[in-house]
Amino acid sequence: MHVRGLTKRYGEVQAVGGLDLDIHTGEVFAILGPNGAGKSTTVEILEGYRKRDAGEVSVLGVDPGQATSAWRARVGIVLQTANDAAELTVRETVRHFARYYPHSKDPDEVIAKVGLTDKAGARIRQLSGGQRRRVDVALGIVGRPELVFLDEPTTGFDPEARRQFWDLIRSLAAEGTTIVLTTHYLDEAEALADRVAVIAKGRIVAEGTPQTLGGRATASARVTWADGYAETDTPTALVRTLADKYDGEIPGLQIVRPSLEDIYLDLIGDAQ
77-87 average pLDDT score: 75
Q: Which one, of 141, 133, 101, lies nearest residue 116 by Cα?
A: 133
Written as one letter, the residue type at 40 is S
The pTM assigned to this predicted structure is 0.85
Q: Give pLDDT, residue 82.
A: 61
The predicted model gives 126-136 an average pLDDT of: 86
Is the pLDDT at 132 greater than 90? The verdict is no
Report the range of poorest mean pLDDT among 15-19, 163-167, 172-176, 203-207: 163-167
E strand or H helix at 262: helix 260-270
Whole-number percent of the chain with pLDDT over 70: 97
Q: How far apart are CA 271 and CA 142, in angstroms?
A: 39
> pLDDT, tens digit, for every residue of 175-211?
999 999 999 899 999 999 999 999 999 999 999 999 9
**Enclosing H/E stretch for 147:** strand 147-151
Mean pLDDT of 111-139: 89
**34-46 pLDDT, tens digit each:** 988 999 999 999 9
Share of the chain above pLDDT 90, in %: 70
Query: Per-residue pLDDT tens for 60-70?
Result: 999 999 989 99
Mean pLDDT in the chain?
91
- Of the pLDDT bands very low, low, confident and very high (cuts 50, 70, 90), residue 81 is low
CA dist list (Å): 231 to 55, 74, 238, 244, 252: 44, 50, 10, 19, 16
Please work out, in degrees rounded to the nearest 5, the angle formed at the alpha carbon of residue 164 by the alpha carbons of 185 and 91: 115
